[in-house]
A and B are shown apart, each in its own frame.
Chain A
Amino acid sequence: EDQVTQSPEALRLQEGESSSLNCSYTVSGLRGLFWYRQDPGKGPEFLFTLYSAGEEKEKERLKATLTKKESFLHITAPKPEDSATYLCAVQRAGNQFYFGTGTSLTVIP
């Protein structure tokens, strides 16, 4: 059975305190792994797509990595505006997306 699990559920960081979010997955026919940011009451905002193990992508303070079983979203020196829920999703053949339960990140000034 396809499964996407994110950890931790919630994370509180001091401003400037770097950390990582984890997304573990088991899925047949993986086309891609996606990271999204979601602010309360809004739709997900695209961050990264990773297609193959070993791939890495960076954007400002965020860096996403992918292995055959999991992906990490590294946050370097976070700022309060990085506070949001970060969602991981896997895309199967047929384009359906299956989301993890998300990590709620709070960055304290």
Chain B
Amino acid sequence: GAVVSQHPSWVICKSGTSVKIECRSLDFQATTMFWYRQFPKQSLMLMATSNEGSKATYEQGVEKDKFLINHASLTLSTLTVTSAHPEDSSFYICSAPGTGGYEQFFGPGTRLTVL
């Protein structure tokens, strides 16, 4: 089956610094990837759609200048949380659609803690 990886699996940073999270499709190509965030005991909230070779599409209420998304290749999308603050602490998960675009394959998630 299709595998999506994320790196790092967890990160702790100081307030005001920037953090980059990578999402890779390991055995398939993905022209589109999705980024979600999940707060404790809450469901996944779609943040943005990452498009290879073009700008990301952000969901309403998500600051595009704070959450920078770059889809540099058919197997890699990155999410950079700029000037992170404690309220950005969350579980960030990416996904990529399988062949035909129906199934979604999820990464294992990245736990971000901002001190």
State the A residues within 8 Å of B (CB).
Answer: 31-32, 34, 36, 41-46, 49, 87, 89, 91, 94-102, 104
Are B102 and A91 touching (Cβ within 8 A)?
A: yes
What's the tally of chain B residues with a CB closer than 8 Å to chain A? Answer: 26
Are B103 and A46 touching (Cβ within 8 A)?
A: yes
Interface status of B56 (Cβ within 8 A of chain A): no
Given A95-B32, A97-B95, are A43 and B106 also a contact pair (CB < 8 Å)?
Answer: yes
Given A43-B109, A87-B43, are A97 and B34 also a contact pair (CB < 8 Å)?
Answer: yes
Given A95-B32, A96-B34, are A44 and B46 also a contact pair (CB < 8 Å)?
Answer: no
Q: A36-B106, A46-B103, A89-B104 are in contact. List 5 more A-B contacts (CB 8 A).
A: A41-B111, A95-B32, A98-B46, A99-B43, A101-B42
CA of A100 to CA of B32, assembled, Å:
22
Report the minimum CB–CB distance from B41 to chain A (whole Å): 8
Report the minimum CB–CB distance from A57 to chain B (whole Å): 13
Are A43 and B97 touching (Cβ within 8 A)?
A: no
CA of A45 to CA of B109, assembled, Å:
12
Interface status of B49 (Cβ within 8 A of chain A): yes
CA of A77 to CA of B6, assembled, Å:
35
CA of A49 to CA of B104, assembled, Å:
10
CA of A32 to CA of B49, assembled, Å:
18
Can you list 14 A-B contacts (CB < 8 A)?
A: A32-B102, A36-B106, A41-B111, A43-B107, A45-B106, A49-B103, A87-B44, A91-B104, A94-B49, A95-B34, A95-B49, A97-B46, A97-B95, A101-B43
